[in-house]
Structure 1
Amino acid sequence: MNNMNGMGPMNTMGAMSNKGNIGNMGTMGTMGTMSSMPPQVTSGSPMTPAGTVVSTTAPVFEQSYVENIFRLNLGKVGTFYFTYENNKDWNAKVYTGVLEAAGRDHLIISDRATGQRVVLLMVNFDYATFEEPLVYQYPGVIGNPAVVRSCR
């Protein structure tokens, strides 16, 4: 194996091997063995910039995503704006209907008059408008506190 600056051979895990000869450490001195495996961390645990896990008793909340907002507002009538790139017949379309279902990559709306349902892909979604207040639970907030805002 390679012999760099008088160091012993390196094993496949990246830890230094001195084969019982402490004097063979060369200029590495007090570095000791290196670990190639980071510590295991629970998913969503906060970490410091140094890489240590911050212990917390507070629950970790999910982030806000548009499909979650749609799921909280099923049954409401909305107007949904979509853009379809590279389509020479129609580049943008507007759909109005009752929000029936929402998934990670799609939403389903229905027309009240005809009952026709349309599956729309989120990849083309631009924005939506609603005529009534929306239920929105911000991450980290328990319940849906009433917020009074004046629109000017």
Structure 2
Amino acid sequence: MPGAAQFMKMPPGPPEMMFGGTVPLPQEQSYLENILRLNRGKVATIYTTNDNNPEWAAKVFRGVVENAARDHVVLADPQTGMRYVVLMVNIDYLTFDEPLNYAPEFYQSPF
């Protein structure tokens, strides 16, 4: 069918910018992926442990947060250009060297 391919193409840019605005983060959820998304472009150090992997039982990744999803984060090492996809399940904790963009209204106390 002529022209069908054009309907399957995604617009350029991040998904939240496709329709001329940003998609608000859910107000009732403060998941790591949302915190990482709020801090795209900042340098993070991610500490991981990898069960059943004798070569990489613990590994540290450092880079610019490019994107995050429910199950992974994408970091870019600005010195080497290497990209890392780190699984959320392996993350123990992470640090930033600068203040975070964070929306504390995600946490709504039940008290």
The TM-score normalised by the length of structure 2 is 0.69
Moved over 2 A (4+): none
Q: Report the aligned-residue RMSD.
A: 1.7
User: Contact conserved, 1:75 with 1:100, CA < 8 A, in 2?
Assistant: yes
Q: Which residue of 1 aligns with 2:81?
A: 115
Gaps of 5+ in 1: 1-59, 142-152
Gaps of 5+ in 2: 1-25
TM-superposed CA distance for 1:115, in Å, is 1.0
**Aligned residues between the structures:** 82
Cα distance in structure 1, aligned partners of 2:40 and 2:99: 12
Work out which of the two has the higher radius of gyration on C-alpha atoms and give 1 or 2: 1
Q: State the identity as a percent.
A: 56
TM-superposed CA distance for 1:62, in Å, is 2.1
TM-superposed CA distance for 1:89, in Å, is 1.4
Structure with higher helix content = 2
Change (3 A) 1:65 1:87: same
TM-superposed CA distance for 1:129, in Å, is 0.6
User: Contact conserved, 1:83 with 1:126, CA < 8 A, in 2?
Assistant: yes
The TM-score normalised by the length of structure 1 is 0.51
1:127 paired to 2:63: no
* Code of the aligned partner of 1:102: A
Change (3 A) 1:116 1:140: closer
Q: Which residue of 1 aligns with 2:37?
A: 71
TM-superposed CA distance for 1:94, in Å, is 0.3
User: Contact conserved, 1:63 with 1:139, CA < 8 A, in 2?
Assistant: no
